[in-house]
Amino acid sequence: MSSFLTGLLESIGLRKRQRPRVGLRPHRTVSVPLGVDAAYERVLDAFARVLGANIYVDDRSTHMIEAGFGLVNAERLRVSLESQGATQTTVHIEAFYPAGTERPPNSRSVDALADALSQ
């Protein structure tokens, strides 16, 4: 399937978006002992309580959240949740940066969010 057609189907909701590949950017994966909906709420709460982040994308249908910190060329975090059953959810946290911005090997924001979710 062409990338144009794939993008079109995703944009109108007929094809589920693929979770971005994690690897080149600072990232962590956390297992949370909650169902996916409760874990989603916990992530939103941690963004507000721990990081004071602004939520830019809140897509419950694909379990994707993107948040940032108010500065124009600042780091943003992308979180995707993957259900592992009724009482377990895997949370993938990844930092991303605007084009041309240096990508550090670690992110204090990723670590802070992961630590908050691990408690």
Count of CB atoms situated within 10 Å of the CB of 10: 14
d(CA 40, CA 50): 15
Q: Which token pair is 73? A: 């060329």
pLDDT of residue 97: 85
pLDDT band at 13 (very low <50, low <70, confident <90, very high): low
pTM of the model: 0.76
Give the mean pLDDT of the chain.
85
First to last CA, the chain: 42
Cβ partners under 8 Å of residue 36, min gap 6 = 63, 81, 82, 83, 89
Residue pair 84/31 in contact (Cβ under 8 Å)? The answer is yes
Domains and CATH numbers, the chain: 20-118 (3.30.530.50)
